[in-house]
Structure 1
Amino acid sequence: MADDLVITAFASFPGVAENPTETLLGSLPDARDEVLSNARHVLLPTVYGRAPRQLCDAMVPLPAALLMTGYSRHATGLVLEARATAACLPDRVDAAGNLPQASDAPDAQCVIDLARIAARVTDAGLPVAISHDAGGYVCNHLYHAALTGPCSGKDGPIGLFVHCPALSRSPLADVAAAAMDLHDMVRGLGIIARALLEAAGEPGNTLIRN
């Protein structure tokens, strides 16, 4: 199972001393969910350039699916990102104090039918949304690198980025658009992970967009 799924999260970055996705990732080894607990868990630095390099290192051997997570103060639930771009915020430094380098690379699209996955999360009573703008920070930078790199081509793993809200009863909950209990966040992640593995394991699966 560990070779089937890679799950990533980000460490702290300016303005976010405790990243909710790092807490989420740290809880997965003990989760009562074999798909999540047996996956490869990768904590990435919130640093342009370094995060994609470390992701590529962690993708050996290539898994069937890659599930990336990151925090967004605008998220009101689990946000499924449909697209990644080369856009970067030119004045927002990463955790190492670096500014991004401009790029005119084309957009990259997720191949998953996110509406079907969102419906499964909704049916479980959890908040979910679909976004076509992954932002201009390291999350978007990593997603674009993944979709145009290890997840590209017919033999590449299925890749999806999910933005998460603050965790309930955390300092970020007071300034974020919404918060979720860790238990619910794990439960939603499990639904999404199973959908990715399902899509990756069945050629012609209806979760794959034509």
Structure 2
Amino acid sequence: MTRVLLTGFEPFDGADVNPSWEVARLVADQPPEGLAVTAVRLSCVFGQAAGELRAAVTECAPDLVVCLGQAAGRPDVTVERVAVNVDDARIPDNAGARPVDVPVVPGGPAAYFATLPVKACVAAVRAAGLPASLSHTAGTFVCNHVFYTLMHLLATERPGVRGGFVHLPALPEQVLDRAQPSLPADSLAHALRALLTAAATTCADLRVPEGATH
């Protein structure tokens, strides 16, 4: 069995729900064949989320770590390719902190690439019947903070573990009063099961174009 740590976030910015945690729970309750999935909810707080992630990695000793976050406004499942070493918050986190131009890890590299087979993960979600794309920015809020923390941790302390970050669109109940794209939680869970299976079983990534023009 491949041990998988799957994280999601608590609601933030006044919301009542966060699709990342709802989907993580669903996948952990019904994991893909061959995978033992542990779901952990992270605080949407700079620093605190990083500590919670580190503790979860220590406790679970996973072979694979996939962190999930919400990207309201995006229409599809977006597999993140790169984490950058900067916190630059447009809005406060759940503790009221709003860091601007602060490194996630002082003295750390400018960026890390995910060590998931990111293009194979995108292809797996599409094959499962859900829209997906490769993203080249995880933003500079707590999602990127956790993504960079994860990749720095794996690079410096757990080089045998693969990891990455996936952004999910809003849930339908979050956008009833606005014109934004959404996908239901059960559909997103189906997509994540396919993605995790691809991540756990694919050694060499696909060599297909998924670059962005801007």
Does the aligned pair in 2 maintain the 1:173–1:179 contact within 8 Å? no
Which residue is equivalent to 1:134? 138
Q: C-alpha displacement at 1:16, in angstroms? A: 2.4
Which residue is equivalent to 2:63? 64
Q: TM-score, normalised by structure 1?
A: 0.85
SS of the residue corresponding to residue 154 of structure 2 reads coil
Aligned residue identity for 1:191? A
Question: Is 2:189 the counterpart of 1:186?
Answer: yes
| 135-144 or 12-21: bigger deviation | 12-21
Q: C-alpha displacement at 1:156, in angstroms? A: 3.4
| 12-21 or 43-52: bigger deviation | 12-21
Q: How does 1:151-162 map to 2 (within 5 A)?
A: 152=156, 155-162=159-166
CA distance in 1, matches of 2:22, 2:99: 26
CA distance in 1, matches of 2:185, 2:89: 33
Does the aligned pair in 1 maintain the 2:7–2:42 contact within 8 Å? yes
Percent identity between matched residues is: 26
Which residue is equivalent to 1:202? none
Aligned residue identity for 1:100? P
Change (3 A) 1:122 1:173: farther
What's the RMSD between the two structures over aligned residues? 2.4
SS of the residue corresponding to residue 175 of structure 2 reads helix
Does the aligned pair in 2 maintain the 1:167–1:181 contact within 8 Å? yes
Which residue is equivalent to 1:115? 119
Change (3 A) 1:15 1:32: same
Change (3 A) 1:72 1:91: closer
Change (3 A) 1:154 1:93: closer
Question: Is 2:164 the counterpart of 1:166?
Answer: no
CA distance in 1, matches of 2:119, 2:29: 29
Aligned residue identity for 2:149? A
Q: C-alpha displacement at 1:91, in angstroms? A: 4.4
Does the aligned pair in 2 maintain the 1:71–1:164 contact within 8 Å? yes
CA distance in 2, matches of 1:71, 1:41: 16
5+ residue gaps, structure 1:
200-204
Does the aligned pair in 2 maintain the 1:62–1:157 contact within 8 Å? no
Which residue is equivalent to 2:148? 144
Q: C-alpha displacement at 1:113, in angstroms? A: 3.4
Which residue is equivalent to 2:212? none
